[in-house]
Structure 1
Amino acid sequence: MSLSDLENGFFPEEVVLQILARLPIKSLFRCKSVCKLWYRLPSNKYFIQLYNEVSSKNPMVLVELIKSFYVKSSFICVDRLRGVSEFSLDFLNDRVKVRASCNGLLCCASVPNKGVYYVCNPLTREFKLLPRTRERPMTRFHPDDEATLVGLAFNVSNQKFNVVLAGFYRPFGHRPLDSFVCVVFDSETNTWRKSISSRSDEFTHMNRNQVVFANGSLHWLTYSCLYILVFDLDNEVWRKISLPGEVIARSGNRVHLLELDGSVSIIQISEAWMNIWALKNYEREEWCTVDKVSLRCIRGLVPSVFPISQTSEFVFLATQRQILVYHRNSRVWKEMYSVKNTFSYPLWFSAHAFRSTLFSCHQGLDYS
């Protein structure tokens, strides 16, 4: 089909938009030179929403390849439809670590400059440097340095995002006290708000890395794996959600927190099975079983397998050196990426759920 066919109306405009909405962002930007209409598409409100609806059905996995603490990381994006591609965060002009991912945006912490955070769209290369949480030197409590919990909540309906940093208060030279300090950044006001509450929750490295945004709240799985710690962004209050009874009863199995088509989900991995639940009734805390997957085909990888992202159709998982995808309908496993050379960190150590989006991290832009 030639360009003249499109210009002469061979395809209805809506069909053309549906086709363009399925392109990678890099390819879409290359198409801007075709005509004035296509040039304006990446900033058109309707097309941005259409693009996001399409891409939400095709989640990806972002992997930060950490060679050394002193060397800048490289990044790859694993897409079950398009394979593996490399991309860079060099546009930030800083050495950063990805701390959270939500709906196509990333929250990154500066490695050399403690307390400096960015929110960016790595595919459009737009970013926002967040104001510092305080002006004084950062020595008193975790949120100003390396927060125990970092959460990013990006609401695609109003294009507003929040960053949450939370940790335990630590008087200088002492062990942390039972005071949970939380600071919340609001993209609408471009300011931080602080609250202090009394908590005693503990988190492993991976539990605090896997944070899920759903129902207007951020969710973390605690170290004990007995409940989920929830931060309600609208009311700025903390609460707990109990895990499915079957999960609590089965000790010794690994439990992971993920998102599943807009709902909070729990995945439990044992030697032979991967059991998946979804929180279908949020207020009543009612869980339902989604799937039970045999791990016989990847038996040798089970000790290191770690679920990263999922939909009703497939599950992305990481191991020490591989990214796998499991297709639920066909019950087929496929290796999407494998580290061939020497690598010091396991891939699940720095893998994040991700998706392609045109949404900007700059609140209040005038889309037409």
Structure 2
Amino acid sequence: MVDRRVPLDVILEILVWLPAKSALRFKCVCKEWYDLITTSFFAKLQLNKSLKPDSRHNRILICDDALGIISIVDLYDPLKWIKLNWPKDTVTDEDIVSIVGSCNGLVCFKVSIRQNWPNDTTRSYYKFRCFIICNPTTRTFKSILPCSEMKWAIAYLSSYGFGYDSEHDDYKIVWTRNCWRVDDRDRHVFIYSLKTDLWSSLTPLTRVSTERRCWTKIESVALLVNDMLHYLVYLMIEGSINEYKIARFDVVSEKWRDDLSLPVQVNKDVQLGKLDGWLYIHVDNFGIDSSEIWKMEEDGSWNKMFRLPKNLGGRCPIAHSGCHSLLLQDCRFDRTELFWYDQRDKKKIPFKPEPLQRYSRSIILCIASLVTIPGSPLTKLQQVDDGV
């Protein structure tokens, strides 16, 4: 029984320190607690606590696009995991589901469907079908259909981003072309606002450039850091890559900002990633026995943070713990391996949750939160299996 002599503000201060999953259970204690925990005010307070650097309320969210199953694994205890399944009328067996991005506990997914080219059944392509914004903690979601101008879009010719507009308390999906001319400063963009449930367009629709001198995005997904979506792009001239840079789109002002240069001259492989809220470049130059990870500072300068040996495989950093440990992802054609790497002792520590026994291409770090999704249906994601 709840002691009603305890002031509500004291109860609030205690509840906001709980992990989001625990707070959901306490909704059943009494009506007063239910009304308190289900408010947007409580969700924001709990989110602010979870965003603190010393908070351990993080999760790794895994999207198995082969089966359409979402797996949530505790970053600090891989034995704790759950699997969630989409309702049949939301995602079908023919759909390909991939992660666009995560922000404040909400995750944006892109759903594509495979289609054959007209008059040529031997060739196929993936056509964009819809977006889904989901809160894996509360298991709520909302499907977002494309606007009429986007229905022609082919998945591999488009790039996507998901971010939070802190000035207007709004979550936005950003669609843009996968390439643009060197002198094209418009860079056509469609923007979906979760707050208004509407799509808007920044510039008139134009055809994708056919000129040789054009910037092309390496990945189809942008990374959100400091209210900006970052795209790693390259300029190809006469069949070879001439230059790399980072294109930036401001989610709040909905404008393109000045491009950023890379910290070093890149000869071979380069990856753009996000770690502990900051942007990094992973450079793997040919002929060097180690790779480097450079951190982008707030002023746009770069600082070398880590050096990793070549024998670690794919080496895509996902999380950072303490001063020396990195959680690395090594993707192969038939499997995905996660492991902690201690840079000081040069040791690999396996990280093997059950959901990773199969191949999972899309893995992203997500914070558990109670952020609500306006317009979400009563139907929720269903749990497939419980962790330990």
Q: Specify if TM > 0.5.
A: yes
Q: Secondary structure at the residue paired with 2:246?
A: strand
Is 1:277 the counterpart of 2:294? The answer is yes
Q: 2:81 aligns with which of 67, 81, 85?
A: 85
Alignment of 1:1-368 (within 5 A): 14=10, 17-18=13-14, 21-25=17-21, 27-56=22-51, 57=53, 58=56, 59-67=58-66, 72-83=67-78, 84-91=80-87, 93-95=89-91, 97-103=97-103, 104-112=105-113, 114-134=128-148, 138-139=151-152, 141-142=153-154, 148-155=158-165, 158-167=168-177, 180-194=187-201, 195=203, 196=205, 200-204=214-218, 207-209=219-221, 211-223=222-234, 226-245=244-263, 247-248=264-265, 250-261=266-277, 263-269=278-284, 273=290, 275-282=292-299, 285-289=300-304, 291-295=305-309, 300=311, 302-310=312-320, 315-320=326-331, 321-326=336-341, 333-337=348-352, 343=358, 345=359, 347=360, 349-362=361-374
More helix by share: 1
Q: Distance in 2 between matches of 1:329 and 1:359?
A: 38
Cα RMSD for the two superposed structures: 3.9
With over 3 angstroms needed to count, the CA separation of the structure-2 counterparts of 1:87 and 1:352, relative to structure 1, is: same
Q: TM-score, normalised by structure 2?
A: 0.69
SS state at 2:148 partner: coil
Offset at residue 132 of structure 1 (A): 3.0
| Pairwise CA distance, 1:187 | 2.3
Structure 2 unaligned runs (5+)? 114-126, 235-240, 376-388
Name 2:382's counterpart in structure 1.
none
Identity fraction in percent: 17
- Tell me the TM-score normalised to structure 1 length: 0.72
Is the contact made by 1:52 and 1:357 (CA closer than 8 Å) also made in structure 2? yes
Alpha carbons 1:255, 1:266 under 8 Å: kept = yes
Q: Deviations over 1:110-152 (max 9, x none)?
A: 344843222121221222232431179x33x44xx66621111
- The AA in structure 2 aligned to 1:149 is S
Contact 1:65 1:350 in 2 (8 A): yes
Shift of 1:85: 1.0
Whole-angstrom CA distance in 2 between matches of 1:52 and 1:115: 31
Q: Counterpart of 1:201 in 2: which secondary structure?
A: strand
